[in-house]
Structure 1
């Protein structure tokens, strides 16, 4: 039997191929890459900032970069957090240096130097979630500087920040598993401020091995204890997580 219009035979498969490439193109638009950028100013002698810079889909990349920069601005601020006026990292670096000069003017005999080191790292990236760590060491004249690590989790498709409670399908179930790993990690329970009550840390994120939990200095224990961290393998908690690890 002859086809009246042989070209009709090809329309459906060609449409499928076309839609496939459209789908791939859309997915590629969501793909993000990161490079490290150093941010400084001409008059800067105290501050070193090296952070990830997202590139790819402009809207998503801009959203991620904006949140990273706001985090750095907050870390460089020496006053109350609700009094932040800086609109950029560069402005924050300038203010940090100016405040040190004011400090030196007020206390000309002091040999104390100020410094700030801030570094960012992409710990994990998948089609659903991106986890970034921001590590800061800031010394503004105290007996010792302040070391702080902040985890930022982003939705890959939007660039929006993910709160800790949104990381889990079953946060209570995850907490039970986390406590067993916490108990294995912390040998000296007497060093913990409240040994009777276990709570999840402020910093939870994904890394290549699993879900990493990190307690900053003073969060649950004194300065001498240092940072407490441990990783729970994905296979132990996959069913409890909202975002896939692949």
Structure 2
């Protein structure tokens, strides 16, 4: 009997499987159902490399804007055809050091007024800037790892540092930033939600999980999975 050769994965994807609206934010005159739109920012510790100036360079993946995810026409197909929100190359040019972390920062907006695209542009700019700032700070504080890295190459052992820096902005870490963002926007902006996967968490890949988003009286449930593409 011929042996099946192992085929190393080429990409890692964060895919959406379902969206449930348990409770709505909307008051009576706005209607009983929310109109929810989503995007995300993606961070991969392997592409946080030492820049020419000696500081960490932090690339950021920007997911497409999708919605209204409460509409069955949008979310219904995800059960059999999961939606790829973030997609990473597992073999980046700068090389890879382990452990490696991948973090998705979910951006959720409930639409009450016009200007949704502009709101997401503003949200991505502000949240992305804050996350990059925290990752640069954490990577710089790593000291020897950054000092010994070659310009343009992955920074040794930086994975947990990047994951912790992005994940550490959950909840209270975003309060002041979200208040600033909301002051100039017209829709309900939810606190960004970070979800991190480490290369050591092999049991997580290929299984469906849920994250609950509860704010402004709303309760949403998002089903997701980490998927290797071979």
Normalising by structure 2, report the TM-score.
Answer: 0.26
Structure holding more strand per residue: 2
Larger Rg: 1
- Tell me which protein shows more helix as a share of its residues: 1
Q: Which has the higher contact order (CA 8 A, sep 6+)?
A: 2
